[in-house]
Amino acid sequence: MIFNMKKKTERNLSFQFEKIKQNKDAIPLAKFTEQAYLDYALSVVHGRAIPKLSDGLKPVQRRLLYSMKEMSLKKTSKPVKSARVVGDVLGKYHPHGDQSAYDAMVRMSQEFVMRYPLVDGQGNFGSRDGDSAAAMRYTEARLTGFAELLIDEIDMGTVQFFPNYDGSFIEPEELPARLPLCLLNGASGIAVGLSTEIPPHNLTDICNGILELIKNKAISNSGLLNIISGPDFPGGGQIINPKSDLEAIYANGKGTFKVQGRWEIEALQRGQWQLVFFELPHGVSVQKILEEVDDITSPKIKNNKKSLTLEQSRQKTEMLNVLATVRDESDKNCDVRLVFEPKNSKVDKEVFVHLLLAKTSLRSSVSLNLILLGLDGKPDQMSLKNVLNDWFEFRQKTVKLRTLYKLSIIQQRLHLLLGRFKVLGSIDRVIQIIRKYNDPRKNLMKEFALDEDQVRDILELRLKQLAKLELEVIRNEIDEKKKVEKSLKAIVRNKKTIERQIEKELLLIKKEYGDDRRTIIKESKEVKFVSELTEELLTIMVSHNGWVYMKPGHIFDPQNIQFRSGDYLKIFFRSSNMEHIVVVSTLGRVYSMQLFDVFDSKVQEVPFSSLVEPKKNERFHSFLIGKDNQRFAIVTSQGKGLRTTIKNVLSRNKAGKRFLNLDKGDEPIGLIPLEECEQGLAILSKFGYLNIIGSESVKELLKGGKGINLMNLKEGDEVSSAGTVGNNGLCFQCETKKGIKKSIRLSRKKLFSFLGKRGQRGKKVDTKLQIINMDSGLNF
C-alpha cells in the first residue's frame, strides 16, 4: 500500500495553522522568542553564573557544601570518595553533568585558586601548572574548618529553603555565611549580557573593614581602602597600580589591577648572577612562562608565511641577546622558583627584568567587575562599600533570626521546666493519677494547671526519673534559662546589641583564621621595554600599490627606486626608526607600528599588507610617518574629514582598529600632516574646484568617527587630492582639451581668492584646463 505522505503532511500543517488561528492565547513568534530568551537569561544569571552577595556562592558550590554538610563531612570526619559526594549532589540537588560538579568541588579545594579553601581534598587535586585533578573515583574530600563558617548556623532558622528540582528534597536559598565570601575567595562567571570577576581578598583586612564600617557608617570607599588595601592573591605577587587607580576601581566596582611577579637577584661566583622569580601573578603558572619564553626564542613560522615575521625576528634577537637559559627549580619546599640566567654578567639587570616583564605574563592584568546578586535578587554593579554594607545588613538579619531561634528553644525548655516545677511537690499525687486513669492528661492539666506540652513532657519521664526530680536543680536551671532568655531578648530588641554581637564574632573569626597579606601593594611605573636602539635616519617610500621601500639615511634619491611593473612612487618620507608609520585603509581602519619594528637592513622592501592582518578587499593608499604628537587631518573622497594626532590612533593590534565611519563608496584619499599653528588646507575636486579652509576649522575627533563636511561637491564629483598650502603655493597637473599635459603653479598671493569656509564648494582653478591632480608638497 502506498501513502501520499506529502498530502498528508500538508493536511496536518493546514489543520495546525487553522487551530492556531482559532487559539486566542497564541502570541506572535517575535514576542515569544523575546520572552523565552529573557527567561533563559534570568535562569543563567540566577541559576548558574552570578554568585549571591550574601554567601558569595554560585548554586553548584552552595549545593556541594550543603550536601557535604548533610553527609556530616566535617573537618574532623573521615573523608569519603569524591564520587560519592558528586553522586549525592547530582541526585538530590544539581541535575547537571557530573564532571562540571566535580570540577567545581576541585576548584574549591585548590589553595592556589581559593584564598581560603572550602573543601579539604585528599589525593591529586591538580596543580598550579595546569595539571588536572585525578578522576573522582580516586580522590576523597571533606569540608574545611573555614567552610563551617558558612553552614554551621543553617539549622537555626536563619535561611529559607525551597524544593529541589523534583520536589523530593529541600535546599537552602543561601547559606548563613559569617563572612563576605564574595570578597574573600572572589568569583568568576559569565552570564547573558553581563559577567562578574572578583579577585580574592585578605580575611584580616575584610574583618577590619567591616568593624570600621560598624563604628563609622559614613566611611567612604577611600577610607575603606586605607584598611582593606586591595586584592590578596593566594600566590602573592605585587600590585603596581597607584592608590588613585585603586580608589577609582573600588568606587566604580570595575577596573583592572596590574600585577607582576616578585623576584630577587642572586649573586653567584666570579661576579655572575641570576634572576629568580619566587612569586607569579594570579592565574599564571611556571609552565606558561616557560612556553612564552620558548615561543620567543624558538618561534614558529605562522600560517601562510614562508619565514618568520619581522616582529618575531626582532623579539627573538632581543631575548637571545640577554638570556642564556631559563629553568624551573620549583619543588615541594618551594612552590615557585623560576630561574633566568643572563647571557653574561655584563647584562644590565634592569633591562633584563624589564624585558621579561614586558614580553611574558610575569606582568599581567587581573580584572575586577563587582557584579553580584543583591539582597533583592537582582544583579547589580557595586562599589566596595556597597558590598560590605549589604552583607552587613544580611548578617544582621541572620543574627536576629538565629537569636530568635535560640530564644524559642530556651522558652520551650523554660516552659517545660515550669511544668515540672509545679508538680515537684506532689510527685506521689502525679503517680497516683497516672496509675488510676488510662488517659491521665486531662486530669493532670486540670489539677496542676498545665498545658498539653507540659503534661506530655511529664508523662514521657520514667517513674524513676520522676521520683528523682529535685526542686533545687530545677530552680537553678530555671534561673539560668531566664538569664539567657533575657540576654537573647536584649539582642533581638536592640539593633546596637546585634552589631556588638557581630563585632565579637568577627574578632573571634579573625583571631582563628586571620593571616598576613601575601600580595604586596607597591606602586611601580609600568615600564615598557624598549630595545637599546640608536636612532637611525631612514628614507621611506610608498608606492601606489602599497609597497613600502626603506633605505638608511636621508641622502637616497627616491627617483632611483625600480618599481614593479604598473607601480609608481606615491609618497616618500625622510624620518627615523623612532617614528611611527600610520596607515588608514579603504575600509576606514587604522594600522600603526614603530619603524624600528618594520625596518630590517636585510629586507628593504615589503608590501604593507604582509605586516598586518587586513580584512577582505582592504587596500592601503593613505600613509603618514611621524612622532606621537604629530597632528594630521584625514580627508575622504566624499569631502568629509577630521583632525587627530598619531598617539590617538596607535594600536599594537595587527588587525588594526576601526577609526573612520565611511559611507558607501567613500574612502580616505590622504593623511595630511599639520603644524601646531593654523594652516591653509587645500581640497581639490575631480571637476577642478578648489576650496582652501583653515586647518583649525576641521573638527578634532580623537577617537575617530564619520567626520564633518569639508567641501560641498556637485553630483558625480569627488575629492581627488588634499594638502596644506606651502610657501611656494600649489602646483597643479592639468590637461588641455587636445590632451596635452602641463603644470601650473599658483602662488600664495593668487590662492587668496580660493579662501573659503568649511562646507563650501570653492572656485574652479582654471575653466579651460582639466585639473588632474594637485601637488601639495606632502613629501618631506
CATH annotation of 537-775: 2.120.10.90
What cell was used for 568? 609608481
pLDDT in tens, 333-362: 888 999 999 999 999 999 999 999 999 999
**Sheet bearing 640-645, strands edge to edge:** 668-674, 631-636, 640-645, 708-709
Task: Tell me if 198 sits within 8 A of 188, measured CB to CB.
Answer: yes
* Widest distance between CA atoms in the chain: 141
Task: Tell me if 634 sits within 8 A of 584, measured CB to CB.
Answer: yes
Would you place residue 18 in the very low, low, confident or very high pLDDT band (cuts 50, 70, 90)?
Answer: low
Q: Is the pLDDT of residue 15 over 70?
A: no
Same topology between domain 262-361 and domain 402-513: no
Would you place residue 23 in the very low, low, confident or very high pLDDT band (cuts 50, 70, 90)?
Answer: low
Our answer to whether residue 116 is catalytic in this structure is no
What class, spelled out in words, does domain 402-513 have in CATH? mainly alpha
**Sheet bearing 238-239, strands edge to edge:** 187-190, 195-198, 363-369, 254-260, 238-239, 520-521
What class, spelled out in words, does domain 57-176 have in CATH? alpha beta
Taking the C-alpha atoms of residue 723 and residue 680, their distance in angstroms, rounded to an integer, is: 8
* pTM of the shown model: 0.72
What cell was used for 483? 538569664
Taking the C-alpha atoms of residue 254 and residue 267, their distance in angstroms, rounded to an integer, is: 42
Task: Tell me if 694 sits within 8 A of 659, measured CB to CB.
Answer: no
pLDDT of 542: 87
pLDDT of 598: 74
Taking the C-alpha atoms of residue 530 and residue 742, their distance in angstroms, rounded to an integer, is: 49
DSSP 8-state class, residue 49: I
pLDDT of 780: 38
Task: Tell me if 770 sits within 8 A of 733, measured CB to CB.
Answer: no
Mean pLDDT of 480-488: 91
- Tell me how many helices (H) and strands (E) the chain has: 22, 36
Q: How many residues does the chain have?
A: 780
CA dihedral of residues 539, 540, 543, 545 (deg, nearest 10): 160
Quickly count: other Cβ atoms within 10 Å of residue 75's Cβ: 13
Q: Is the pLDDT of residue 557 over 60?
A: yes
What cell was used for 249? 576601581
pLDDT in tens, 600-627: 655 577 888 888 888 888 888 789 999 8
Residue given cell 559611507 in the structure block: 663
Task: Tell me if 124 sits within 8 A of 136, measured CB to CB.
Answer: no
Would you place residue 460 in the very low, low, confident or very high pLDDT band (cuts 50, 70, 90)?
Answer: confident
Residue bearing the bigger pLDDT, 569 or 465: 569
Of 38-52, 111-125, 435-449, highest mean pLDDT: 111-125
What integer best gives the mean pLDDT of the chain?
A: 88
Residue of 40, 93, 116, 138 with catalytic role = 138
pLDDT of 567: 84
Of 31-45, 466-480, 681-695, highest mean pLDDT: 681-695
DSSP 8-state class, residue 39: H
Task: Tell me if 159 sits within 8 A of 173, measured CB to CB.
Answer: yes
Minimal CA–CA distance to 450: which of 426, 472, 470, 422?
422
pLDDT of 747: 87
Minimal CA–CA distance to 93: which of 147, 171, 161?
171
pLDDT of 157: 92
User: Which sequence spans correspond to the domains of the chain?
Assistant: 57-176, 262-361, 402-513, 537-775
Residue bearing the bigger pLDDT, 524 or 763: 763
pLDDT of 8: 41
Would you place residue 779 in the very low, low, confident or very high pLDDT band (cuts 50, 70, 90)?
Answer: very low
Domain 262-361 has CATH 3.30.1360.40: yes
Taking the C-alpha atoms of residue 675 and residue 645, their distance in angstroms, rounded to an integer, is: 11
Would you place residue 7 in the very low, low, confident or very high pLDDT band (cuts 50, 70, 90)?
Answer: very low
- Continuous segment of H or E residues that includes residue 433: helix 427-436
Q: What is the CA radius of gyration of the chain?
A: 39
Q: Is the pLDDT of residue 6 over 80?
A: no
Burial class (CB in 10 A: 0-12, 13-18, 19+), 109: buried
pLDDT of 61: 96
Residues 6+ apart with CB under 8 A from 189: 48, 49, 50, 51, 58, 195, 196
What share of the chain in percent tops pLDDT 70? 93
Angle between helices 384-423 and 203-215 (to 10 degrees): 80
